[in-house]
Amino acid sequence: MRTTVVCLLGFGALLAILLAAGQRPFAPSKFEFGVFRIYNGIAEQTPVPSMISGGERYLLVGPGKRGATEMAPPGRALPVELQGSLIERGSTRMLEVLPGSWKPAGPEGRSTPAVSEGVHTFTGEIVDSKCYLGVMNPGEGKVHRQCAARCISGGVPAAIAANGGLILLTGPDDRPLSRELSPYAGERVTIRGELIRLGQLQILRADPASITRE
């Protein structure tokens, strides 16, 4: 009897080790939840809501499952001061903007031109950029599908996680894609469009009709 118990305990320990080894480690990311710092810079709405501050470009989102709504008009740049919580994964950074902290700090100017890198095709998972960058762990995969769909529908920039990186998605005319992409959240797809670069951000201008499920 004693031998049987010892064997069962040993088998259980071995099974636990194997299950742990089979799990993918969480991505190295950070979310400074509840920590709001003051940022000054130039905010732009197109092609994605973002802000240049201290030589870095930050994506902008609202609290919860919402995108940034207090923005400069499309095609314009606006000097602002705001308070935000930092979210980051790798070289991509995002700020969750504290409601009511957004203050215009100067006259509008022209937005930064994006650099086209031609037509490309990518295969990967459709994710919401906020959770993927660090608000949730894991912020991708089937376990996160429902949350990603709600975030994308709420205006959080959609993206495709492909080739070890994050590529943000907009329509061909830089129109935000939300409800068109939410049905694909958490799924592996192939999508084709014009790849542009805005600072360290990669953005694919793509027609949702070009999406095919893998």
Q: What does the pLDDT look like over 5-47, one tens digit per residue?
A: 334 334 444 433 433 344 445 567 899 999 999 999 999 998 9
Q: What residue ranges of the chain have pLDDT lower than 50?
A: 4-24
Residue 37 resides in a domain: yes
Distance separating alpha carbons of residues 52 and 182, to the nearest angstrom: 28
Q: Domain of 178? A: 115-213
- The answer for 142, left when phi > 0, alpha when psi is -120 to 50, beta otherwise, is alpha
Torsion of CA 7, 10, 14, 20, to 10 degrees: 140
- Listed residues 63, 81, 110: the one ending a domain: 110
CA-to-CA separations, 62 to 71, 116, 136, in angstroms, rounded:
11, 28, 15
Which tokens hold the place of 17?
């080790």
Residue 18 resides in a domain: no
DSSP state of 209: G
Please count the other Cβ atoms lying within 10 Å of the Cβ belonging to residue 205: 20
Looking at the 3D structure of the chain, how many domains does it have? 2
Statement to judge: residues 208 and 127 lie in one domain: yes
Statement to judge: residues 104 and 148 lie in one domain: no
- pLDDT of the residue at 36: 96
Residue 22 resides in a domain: no
- pLDDT of the residue at 22: 44
Distance separating alpha carbons of residues 136 and 101, to the nearest angstrom: 24
Buried/exposed 106-132: b ≥16 CB within 10 Å, e otherwise: eeeeebeebeeeeeeebebbbbbbbbb
Angle at 183 between CA 181 and CA 186, to 5 degrees: 90
CB 130 within 8 A of CB 94: yes
Residue 10 resides in a domain: no
Statement to judge: residues 65 and 120 lie in one domain: no
- pLDDT of the residue at 139: 80
Q: Specify the pTM.
A: 0.84
Torsion of CA 120, 124, 184, 65, to 10 degrees: -100
- pLDDT of the residue at 150: 95
Residue 16 resides in a domain: no
Statement to judge: residues 105 and 123 lie in one domain: no
- pLDDT of the residue at 1: 53
Q: DSSP H helical segments within the chain, as ranges?
A: 2-22, 129-130, 145-153
- Listed residues 91, 110, 129: the one ending a domain: 110
Report the chain's mean pLDDT, rounded to a whole number. 86
CA-to-CA separations, 128 to 38, 182, 184, in angstroms, rounded:
25, 9, 11
